[in-house]
Amino acid sequence: MALEVLTLIGALAILAAVAVYTLSTGVPPTPTSATVRDAILAVLPADPDGVVYDAGSGFGTFAATLARRYPRHRVVGIEVSPLPWLISRFHTYIAGHINLTFRRADLRTVGFDDAGLVLCYLSGPAVIALKEKLEAEAPPECVVVSNTFAVPGWTAERVVTAPDLYATKVYIYRMATAPAG
Ligand SMILES: C[S@@+](CC[C@H](N)C(=O)[O-])C[C@H]1O[C@@H](n2cnc3c(N)ncnc32)[C@H](O)[C@@H]1O
């Protein structure tokens, strides 16, 4: 009985930890679906000129895909929510991706001056925060790929539609041309 109660308390604590960060960022740690992942992989640049970031890496599955796609690049997942970040670290340890690291940080505190490619699946204040960081720091040749949500005020170089139930859009930007002004 005591074990069941402890398990229940543990499960509730885990749910509460995820919920608190979801409420504070406005973005749940929902992983990119396999169909959208494949649509994104089809449009990624062959050889990004710099570090590959997954800005808001959730449980780390998409960042792991990026690490396999770009074995000669440094791939960095940035995740503020502790539990998804911990699970990412565990997966990386098991899978042994030597080019993949996860930083537990708010993306507003991370420098993007070395970015060659930035992936995101963010909405609301989080995508605005990323936009401001990239406009201030990312090099002109940096490519930004946004799953589902357009970056407000930016002009996409290309928009593709994934063949899923929701006809999910993927927005591809280049820093040299995307931001207005
Ligand atoms: C929708 S998930 C996407 C996960 C992964 N990138 C993927 O595509 O499978 C977005 C993640 O961004 C994280 N996030 C939101 N705002 C953030 C911020 N300011 N700094 C760091 N991570 C953030 C959330 O905690 C969430 O786990």
Residue 78 and residue 58: Cα distance in Å, rounded?
8
Eight-state DSSP code of residue 72: T
Q: Which residue type sits at 106?
A: D
Give 55 Cα–ligand 1 centroid separation in angstroms.
6
Q: What is the pLDDT of residue 1?
A: 75
Q: What pLDDT, on the 0 to 100 scale, is given for residue 92?
A: 86
**Closest ligand 1 atom to 60 CA:** 5
8 A C-beta contact, residue 37 and residue 66? no
- C-alpha 177 to ligand 1 mean position (Å): 25
- The pLDDT value recorded for residue 18 is 79
Whether the predicted pLDDT of 66 surpasses 70: yes
pLDDT tens-digit profile of 68-121?
A: 999 999 999 999 999 999 999 998 888 888 999 999 999 999 999 999 999 999
pLDDT reported for residue 93: 84
Mean pLDDT over residues 18-22, rounded? 84
Q: What is the pLDDT of residues 107-126, one digit of tens each?
A: 999 999 999 999 999 999 99
Count of Cβ atoms closer than 10 Å to residue 86 Cβ: 16
Question: Which pTM does this prediction carry?
Answer: 0.93
- Contact 129 CB / ligand 1 (< 6 Å): yes
Radius of gyration of the chain (CA): 17
* Distance linking the first and last C-alpha atoms of the chain: 64
- In the chain, the domains with their CATH numbers are 2-174 (3.40.50.150)
DSSP string, 118-161: EEE---HHHHHHHHHHHHHHS-TT-EEEEESSPPTTBPPSEEEE
> Tens digit of pLDDT for each residue in 5-14?
889 887 887 8
Instruction: Give the residue, by CA position, lying nearest to ligand 1 atom 2.
Output: 29
Contact in structure between 76 and 105 (CB atoms under 8 Å) = no
Whether the pLDDT of residue 54 is over 90: the answer is yes
Query: Do 141 and 49 touch, CB atoms closer than 8 A?
Result: yes
Q: Sheet containing 51-55: give its strands across.
A: 100-104, 75-79, 51-55, 115-120, 143-147, 169-174, 158-161
What does the pLDDT average to over 23-36? 93
